[in-house]
Amino acid sequence: MIRKALYILPLMAALIAAFALGYVRHQAKPVESRHILYYQDPMHPSYRSNKPGIAPDCGMDLVPVYSSEVGKSFSSRVGVTSEAAEIDQSAQQLYGIKVVKVEKSSGQGTIRIFARVEADETRTFRVNLGTDGFVKETHDDAVGNHVMKDQHLAVVYSPEFLSVAGGYLAANERTPSAQNPSRDNAASPTSQGVASVQARADRLRNLGMSDAQINEISKSRILPEDIYVVSPTDGFILSRNISSGMRFERQADLYTIADLSHVWIIAEVSGRDARALVPGAMAHASLPDTDESFRATVSHVLPEVDFATRTLRMRLEADNPGFKLRPNMFVTVELPVSLPAGLSVPADAVLDSGLSKRVFVQTDAGHFESRTVETGWRLNDRVQIVQGLHEGETVVASGTFLVDSESRLELAAKSRVPLDDVSRASASMEHHGN
């Protein structure tokens, strides 16, 4: 009996020890995380959502995708180190990843920008009078009307005109040769009379009388009771601040008239683009509705910078046959530019973090490595690479951010970074993927 007890006691001790060891190991085993990254369509995994719901195509419930499952499902296709990612062909097609060759570009291209038409300020006139007065009547002076030079727009009355016009007539009577002064009589006693006539004519012009009416007074020798407000040029009435029966004050603008046979086109360009544009460069402006094109010339890049957009204002000038370019109309401007030749890649190939710029270079079939580059000019959808790449190398041109995001996500999973950081990376990938 004692011998049997001696056999049983060690057996029971061994059982107890094995049970205790298994319990400790069970307690030490980490609990698998079940953190949900996103929800996806079971029939079309490319459709993702950040909350549960119904798939729009098949009506099935969206299924959750856990952080632990992402690493398992992608590990067979993607291998990641700190600076490289390995993605097979099927994964590239699934995620829309495309590659292109690094090419040498001549730097010849076209900048396309939107611009606005404005009246040429050197051909815009503000019509006013240098005295107070009263408007008797107006004629065909609606805003938008096309008027001719010296066309009568309004008839006004002002006593000051009458007194100066009377002095002009009297000076003409005393100096008959004032009508046609010449070098021969410039030093004669009548030269003072000629100067007096011209001085009074200048006073009439200063008050607002047209040369046509001054000449009419000289010929008719009649003191006018009515003063004509006339158009100073062939053009269009842009604004009108006059009506019959109105009293006006001196220097108050009655009309704004612009010659629109030649117009300005104002465009906003970045400082980088402005460096490639020089005065005299030729461009084409086209109307968005009719596609009619007009030749334009770069006149100036104005020194002011827009406070909100931080862009420069560029002025182009264009002839306007048929007056089809109208103030405040938007047009598309195409400017050919010539930049230094160099290597270039699609703009989507470059990841700009603000501190550095990177591209993913394909070193072998399905193997990509991250490489820091320096960039130069940007023209349309191409970016110059100053340093970091060689001609003929292959880079990721579409899906670059997805490659970077998936690489970071897998790297975080392998490095056992906190799941919250992984979730944030996935959310960023989801936002740019959609």
pLDDT digits (tens, 9 = 90+) for 194-233: 888 889 999 999 999 999 999 999 888 888 889 999 999 9
Average pLDDT over every residue of 394-405: 82
Least confident stretch, 160-169, 185-194, 301-310, 312-321:
185-194
With b meaning 16 or more CB within 10 Å and e meaning fewer, what string describes 142-161? eeeeebeeebbbbbbebebb
Strand order in the sheet with 48-49: 48-49, 36-40, 63-66
Question: Any idea which fold 71-108+341-433 has?
Answer: 2.40.420
Does the pLDDT value for residue 310 go beyond 90? no
Distance CA 409, CA 318 (A): 55
286: left (phi over 0), alpha (psi -120 to 50) or beta: beta
CATH top class, domain 111-121+259-332: mainly beta
* Residue 331 identity (one-letter amino acid): V
CA torsion 336→340→344→350, rounded to 10°?
Answer: -90
Distance CA 323, CA 262 (A): 9
Band the pLDDT of 145: cuts 50, 70, 90. very high
Average pLDDT over every residue of 372-383: 83
Terminal Cα distance for the chain, rounded? 79
Radius of gyration of the chain (CA): 41
What is residue 85's predicted lDDT score, i.e. its pLDDT? 72
Q: Which of 414, 369, 409 is nearest to 388 (CA)?
A: 369
Contact criterion met (CB below 8 Å) for 362 and 99: yes
Contact criterion met (CB below 8 Å) for 259 and 233: yes
Least confident stretch, 30-44, 172-186, 253-267:
172-186
Q: Which residues contact 286 (CB under 8 A, 6 or more apart)?
A: 292, 293, 294, 331, 332, 334
What is residue 373's predicted lDDT score, i.e. its pLDDT? 92
3-state class (DSSP) for residue 167: helix
Using CB atoms within 10 A of its CB, is residue 220 exposed (0-12), middle (13-18) or buried (19+)? exposed
Domain boundaries, the chain: 71-108+341-433, 111-121+259-332, 129-252
CA atoms within 13 A on the CB side of 36: 11
3-state class (DSSP) for residue 368: strand
Distances 95 to 56, 91, 272, 406, 430 between C-alpha atoms, Å: 20, 6, 34, 10, 12
Q: Which residues contact 83 (CB under 8 A, 6 or more apart)?
A: 369, 370
